[in-house]
A and B are shown apart, each in its own frame.
Chain A
Amino acid sequence: MQIKVLYFARIKEAVNYSSEDVVLPEEVETITALKYWLSKRGEVWANLFNGQLVVRAAINHNLVDDLAAIEDGDEVAFFPPVTGG
C-alpha cells in the first residue's frame, strides 16, 4: 500500500524534510511496524524511531496510539509530544 508520511518539529529537522509518499511492504500494517521499518533507514532514523524518543502519531489528522492500523491512502504524521498553549 501507499501512504503519505508527514514529519513535524524536531523530527522534521532531523530527517530534513516535511513529507514523503511511501510504498509500504505488506507486513507494515501498524504505527509500531512503520516506526520499526523507518528505523532501518539509517542512523538518523534509528535514533528517532528505535523507541528511545517519545514519538506521537496521527492518522488522517486524528491522534492514535502505536497499535493503530494503517490503510492504503492514509496520511500518517509523526511528531514529538505537543507543546502548544
Chain B
Amino acid sequence: MAMIEERPIGFGRLKRKEDPRFIRGQGTYVDDVTLPGMLHGAVLRSPLAHARIVSIDASAALAHPKVRGVITGKDLEAQKLAWMPTMSYDTQAVLATDKVRFQGQEVAFVIADDRYAARDALELIDVEYEPLPAVVNARKALDADAPVIRDDKDGQTDNHIFDWEAGDKAETDAVFARADVVVSRDIIYPRCHPAPLETCGAVADYDRVSGHLTLWTTSQAPHAHRTVYALVAGLPEHKIRVISPDIGGGFGNKVPIYPGYVCAIVASIVTGKPVKWMEDRSENLTSTGFARDYVMHGGIAATRDGKILAVRTDVIADHGAFNATAQPTKYPAGFFSIFTGSYDLEAAYCAVHGVYTNKAPGGVAYRCSFRVTEAAYLIERMVDALALELGTDPAELRLKNFIRPEQFPYENKTGWTYDSGDYETAMRKAMEIAGYDELRREQAEKRAKGELMGIGLSFFTETVGAGPRKHMDILGLGMADGADLRVHPTGKAVLGISVQTQGQGHETTFAQIVAEELGIPPEDIEVVHGDTDRTPFGLGTYGSRSTPVSGAAAAVVARKVRDQARLIAAGMLEASPDDLEWEKGRFSVKGDPEQGKTIQEIAMAAHGAADLPEGIEGALEAQTVYNPPNLTFPFGAYICVVDIDPGTAQVKVRRFIAVDDCGVRINPMIVEGQIHGGLAEGVGIALMELIAFDEQGNCLGGSFMDYLIPTALEVPEWELGETVTPSPHHPIGAKGVGESPNVGSPPAIVNAVIDALYEPYGVSHIDMPMTPARVWAAMQGRPEPPQ
C-alpha cells in the first residue's frame, strides 16, 4: 500500500482535512456543546423485558435539591407525545405509559442541574411493575400461546409485523425439484451492535420567544430528522435547526430517532433552558439500534458438475419490541433479496417474516447496506456448503458460476439490475495475493501434523446508493440528495452537501470531487455538512449512499458551475463557448492554448464590473438535486486464513486478503481506511460480538466487558487489492465502499473455520460468533446456536 501522499488537485491520496482537529483533540462532538444555563437529562429505564406499569412515584426524585423536573409517559400523553412514529411506519413509545416491552426501555426522564444529580435521581424514582412473560426467542414469537407484545396497536393479536417476499416461488421450487444436488442449512446471523465509540445524545435549545428549536444531535440524517420532528412535535419545520457536529462513528446506529432526543426537546420546551442528554455505554448497547438478528433457513440447488441453479430462503427477522428500522418503504427486509449474490442463476426466492420480541428495537445497522450483510452471509455460506457436498474447491465453484462481464447490466431473479462487474478478475487477483495454491499445500502439510488451518473465501455483491426516488423513500421522503456550490471571487469555493460524515472523510472526498471537476485545489474548497440551516435537503449518510448519491450531486453541481464558467470565459476571451477547450482548472481557445483563463480568473470576472455574457446573472454558483437512476453494485473477493488452536479451540485470523471493486476511487487512502475498519468489525462479528439475552429477556451484552469488540491484537495486517469497474450510470463511476468490508468479511472467516474443521472433525456449520467455547463444542460434535 502506497503511503506517499500525492497532493492531487482531484482524485488521489490526500490526507484528510478533518484530521488535524481530531488529532489535536479539537473536534466538537455533541457532548462538547455547552450552552449558558444548560440543564442535564437522564433516562430511567425498565429493568424488566415485559411488564405492566402499575404506578410511578417520582416524588423523592423531585425533592432532590438539584432536580428541576421529571417527565413520565403520562405527562407526554397529555401532549400526545407519548408515542412517536418510527421510520417503518410503526409507533414507538417515547416514555412507556401502559407497559414496558424490553429491558432498557425508556420510562421517565429526569432534568437536573448537572448530569451527576440527574443520574443519582433516577434511583429515587419508584416504579411498580407487574411482570409479564417475555418473548425472547424470535422462533417462538408467532406461537399461538406467545404473549402479545404490541397490544397497544388496534387489531394486533399476535407478534407478526410483516411478510415480504421476492423472486418466483413456483419457478424456484420447480428448479429445486429437478436439481441433482440440494443442500440446506439453518443459519443464524445473531444480534450484534454497531457500538460507535461516541454514544448517542442531544442538546436541545428551545427559544420560547422566537419559537426556534436548535438541536445538536448524533444524527446520520439531520434533514430527515428535522422533518420527522416537525411531524411528531408539531413544530414548524422552518423553525427547527438540526446540527450534527463531529460524530464519533455511526454505522447505522445514529439513523433512528431515539426517545432520549425527544425527551431532551420536550425538557427544553418545558424548562425554557437548553437540555443535554448523553447516554452511557450500557444504554447504547441495550437500547439503541442493534444489527442483524436473522434466523435463516437456506437452500441451494445445483447440477452434479457444480452449476448453481437456484437459491431460496425463509427468514424470521427479529425487529424487537417496536419496528423502528430505517429502510426504503417498499423494502421491509431492506435489500436482502440481493441474496442471489454474484452468481448467474435460473431462479431464486426469499421470504422474510418480521416479528416483535421483548428486545430492543432495531435491526438495520452496522454497515449492513440495508440487510446486504445478511444476504451476502447466507449466499456465501450456502456456496461453501455446496462445495463441501460436491467435494469441489470453493474457489473453483465460485469461478464456475460467476455472472460474466458481458452479461452486465445483469437482471437477477429478484428484480435487481446489477450495473457493472468483472468478478473473475477480482477473484483471481485475491487468489494471487493470497498465494491460494500454496496455502492449500501448506494446509495439507499442517493437517498431516494435526494442526488446524483453514482457508475461507467470500465473494460479495452489494446493492448500495439508495436510491431512485420513484422506488425508494423513507417516510415518504424520496432518497435523493442535494448539493450547492458557490465559488467566491478569489476562486475559493464552498460546497454544501446533504449527507453527513461520521468519520468517512466527506470534507476531503467531496472537496476532491469538486477539485476534479473544476481544478480548484481541495484545500480551497470548504465542505459544509451536518447543519440543516446551511445545507440543501437530502436523506443522509447510511447504506453506503454518500458517494453514489451525494457524490454524484457534487460532481453534477460542479459541472453546472463549469458550464457557467465556460460562458464567462468565452466572453473574457472573445471566443465562442464551443471554441473553448477545458483542461483541469482552465479554459483556453482551441488551437491557441496561450489564450486562456483559469477558473480563479473566471470567478473574479463573474463577480466583476465588466459585462457578463447572456445567461449569466453574476456570481458563480449552482445547485442540484441528484436522483440516482439505479443503485450501484460494488463487489469484492475476500480470502481469510485462520489457525485454530486444537487445545483451546481459539480461532486466530492469521491473514486476510481483501480485493475490493468500488468503481472509481476518489481518495484511495480513505477507501483503504474504510476497508480496514470494516474488516476489523467483521472479525469482531465473526468471533466475539453478541448481544445475548437470558430466558427472562435480560440483556447479557450491556457493557464492553461482555460485548467484546476486537482490538489491534485480534486482527492481522490487512492485505488489500483492487480492481476498478466503473459504474456506468454514476457521473464519476464511483460505487460506494463504506459497508463492503463488513458485508464481505464474516462469511470468509466462518468459511475458513469450517474449512479447518470439516475434514478432521466433520464440522459443517458453526453459527457466529465463533467463540472458543462454541468452536470447542462443535469439535466435540455438539454445535450450539447462539443464545
Q: Do A and B come from one complex?
A: no
